[in-house]
Structure 1
Amino acid sequence: MEKTIKLLERVFTFLLLAVAFAACSSDDDSTDGDGNIKPDVNVNDPAGTVSLSMMKGPSISEGATRIGGSYIYIGNDYNFDGGYFISLGTVKGLGNVSYIPTTGWADMVSVRCDNGYVAYSNGEFYRIFVEKEIVGTTGGIIGYDVKYQAPFKGKDLELELPATSVSFDKKGGTENIVFNNKEFVVFTAKSSEDWCQIIPTSTYNYSFLANGIQIIAQPSNVAATTEATITLTTAYGKKKEIKVTRGGVDPYLTLNETSVTLDAKECERQVGLNTNIQKEDLTISNTASSWCKAEFVDQTRAIHASAARIKFVGNKPAKAVKAAGSTNYYALVLKAEANDKEIERKGVVTLKSKDGKKSVTLNIVQKGIKFIPSQTKVCFDKNYSNKTITINTNLDWEASSNQSWCTLTKNGNNLTIRATPYSGSTANRIATISFKGLSTKIEVDQSKYALGEEYNENGVKGQVICMNDTVRFVGKDVGTAAWSTEKVATGAIYEHDGRLNMAIIKKISGWKDLYPAFALCDALNTGSVTGWYLPAINEIYAIRIGYDLNGNHWSSTEYRENNAYYYGNNSSIDYKTNKYKVKAVHRF
């Protein structure tokens, strides 16, 4: 039975590894088109995860277990109760619950094993994963083992504001801002001045799904213009500001920013304009008009149309309040053409009242074009080699090499780099590729070694088993051993750098006896020699691309307390106490 379970585990985890390594070759196969973590992808539990055995009952006061400081419990009808809930269906674990939906909420939802949920109770969001049923001694389900984490922040997104400034006259008033985000973002709002008050609003069916704010400006009792700043902060600490201006009897004209920096590509940027001067009484002058247009835009109608969708202001239904105010929203809109030069360009936009009494300036800087090679270091072995890289740019460019053994061929935005055979005695030779008129460089590094050759430098002896643009390895078979003799989660989980795993293991008291595979590798570090270690699982995969690894080999990457990754004919995970081959590696 144990062998059958072990075989199934190997097959299953091999399939998972296949998925994981496939993901490395695409942009992000672990998420769907909206950036949400796919339900069938293995994800670690988030920080702050709590495991809880929840006993069902008629209420919290009558024996039911509640989650944290919430009112959430499991009723005798096997439903989550005491808040608002939405089920995301079957998922791998708590980490797969990655976003807060805006539709489908209910005040009760059925409890099902292997399902993920988002809940709201007592002012906080929770994410919940139901692991398994708890069966009583006489049979029957008496509860469920769950994992939860709170406060659940949802997705890490920027708030998208339709306007960054609001202007009131001296009478003050009320205005509503609805965010442009299509997905829900947890946020808080704070005003810098007492006369400017804020109430969260929602266009959804529940008030706790706030996606906007109502701004209330009290009437002014002073002649001068007054200003307040509303700071909106997401649960992840990302901030946006809205400038609120309340007029006195004097005319005013200000911009939210005094300078802006634009991308090199064709782009558009809005800068909030605060004024009680009529639009027709303002003029624009622009020294950057040849490449950047500047114009006034009245956003009032569009913003009020969004505000008309508000269903809740605070906890009060919007039908009991005025959904849209009477404030005018002006913005200065900049439309810049692409800059096809490496150097930045600058300009100044000046706004003036026609009577000349008020003016404000905006400095504009546009970045130069980007020139990005697909890689800035290319490595070859001692044999004749070539590699083609891509240059991401719209510039017409020229490349040159400072070494005759390194030659170049340009084909559109592709650059083919060729190296002649190397028969020198030094460890490697270096060439530098330069681009006319640009500061970007590419380093070409050719080694005196080739795969399979014997290496002997500075006391390090072994066989060259890996050579690529990222790393070069000397390898040495050091025997057969167990990964460990104890069942402990060590934290040696790094998949790309076994040196990190090695450092973790060597901090454990008595590690040489407890972790034999690591000890075999470290035994090569004698005298002045250092740097031998047990490779991580992805390092082993890099090695096997050009080198034949016969048999099963341990990696230094831990899977969990009982298991670690190994490479073999059916690369997978296995019990740490099993004995596999150990190949020590050393970078050069």
Structure 2
Amino acid sequence: MKKIFLLLATVGMIFTACETGNEPNGTNNNQPQQPTSNIMLNPPTITTDAGEGNYEVSVNSTCSWTAYSLDSWIKVKTTAGDAGTTTLQFSVTNNSEKESRRGVINLTNADHSLTAELYVIQSALEYKIGDIVSVKGVKGIVFYKDNSITKLVSIAESNTKLCWCIEDVVTSATNQYNGADNMAKIKAINGWETNYPAFKWCADLGDGWYLPAVYELVDFFKQAQIINETLEENGYNHINEDHLLWSSTDATGIEDSAAYIVGEDGMLGLRYKSIEDSFVRAVYTIEN
């Protein structure tokens, strides 16, 4: 019996010694240490004003990454980057809503299954008279604002005098306060792009730009001093005092062959539609 006991004891000691040799002090030092990978954004949140603009943030990453956004108003310009400190560039479009909006730019690395999020907060539209606003690349100045709408007049002006129409025809574009309404009526006429040069010039600026109604131009000239200060501060030419501007308002009923023009002091006049007599600026309306 003693021999059996001693044999069992010896086997137990050998087994214990093997276990202790594999894991000294209860730990395993043979396991490889996994490197830590990350993508850090500085800042992680950025707030912009309501207008369109370009922005950038710093990215500090231990690996390469790609970037994208599912928000249509955010345009990611830097779609990929390498390890190290790099810059993520993006732009935002105008926010014409009453409320601020939030979006996300996602940065990912498929190899490491990493993700990082840049939160973009764009303020609600709050323009004031004289502000320069860019609409799809076309710049305008705020000349009118109330609780429901904001109106911009184009900084650009036609290089030459244009005619209202190539013939002194009668139209239904007689609205004195809403040039967009007049513009829609002219656009409904077959061949308007060729026959109505003043309207065509405005349309060429992009969707939403229109030839202003007569009293929209009056409102514009009321703000001439503020607008000229803004133009000067930003390196643009002043409103030319000698330039008369076409309105979109047909003078049918007063003078069928004429349309209204407006001068620098807000003075109204009539000109034959077919005469290349006046210059053109366009207006764009934003709903607040």
TM-score by length of 2: 0.45
Q: Which has the higher helix share?
A: 2
Question: Scaled by the length of structure 1, what TM-score is found?
Answer: 0.23
Q: Which has the higher contact order (CA 8 A, sep 6+)?
A: 2
